[in-house]
Amino acid sequence: MDELRALLHRVDTKKFGAGDLSAHPPRVEVDMACSIVTARVEELERDPDGCRLETLSVVESSRLQVVIAALEYFALEHDVIPDSRPTGHVDDMTIVHWAIGMVQRQLPVQPQSAPPADQP
C-alpha cells in the first residue's frame, strides 16, 4: 500500500515542460486512474485481511494492473518523450487515455433507468 500511495503522490506532483497540466482536459483521465487506485488502497486499509489483490477476479486484477502500470509510466521523468520538453506530456497522457478507455470498455453495461414521467 505504501508503494501505491507513493505512486499516487508522484503522479499528483508531476510537472512537465509545458507546466502544470491540472487544468488540461485529458488530466481528468489521470484523476480517474488515481481514483481507481485510491479506492483499492482505501479498501485494503479498511479490511487488510478481506480484500487482497489475490481475491480479485482475473478481469478485475488485470484492470487494476493496467491502471497502475499507466500511472507508473505517467510518473516516469525519462520516458519515450522526455517530460522536460514542451510536448513531454503527450505520451504520458496517451498511455493513461488508453488504459482508462480499455478499463471502461470492459465494464458491464448498466441499463439506463427510465426518466420520471411528467406529473400534471
Question: For residues 32 and 104, what is the distance between their CA atoms, to the nearest angstrom?
Answer: 11
Q: Which residues 6+ apart lie within 8 Å of 51 measured at CB? A: 43, 44
Per residue, what are the HEC states of 19-66? ECCCCCCCHHHHHHHHHHHHHHHHHHHHCCCCCCHHHCCHHHHHHHHH
Exposure on the CB side of residue 107, measured as CA atoms within 13 A: 10
Mean pLDDT calculated for residue range 68-82: 91
Question: For residues 2 and 23, what is the distance between their CA atoms, to the nearest angstrom?
Answer: 28
Specify the pTM: 0.75
The pLDDT tens digits for 78-107 are: 888 888 888 888 899 999 999 999 888 876
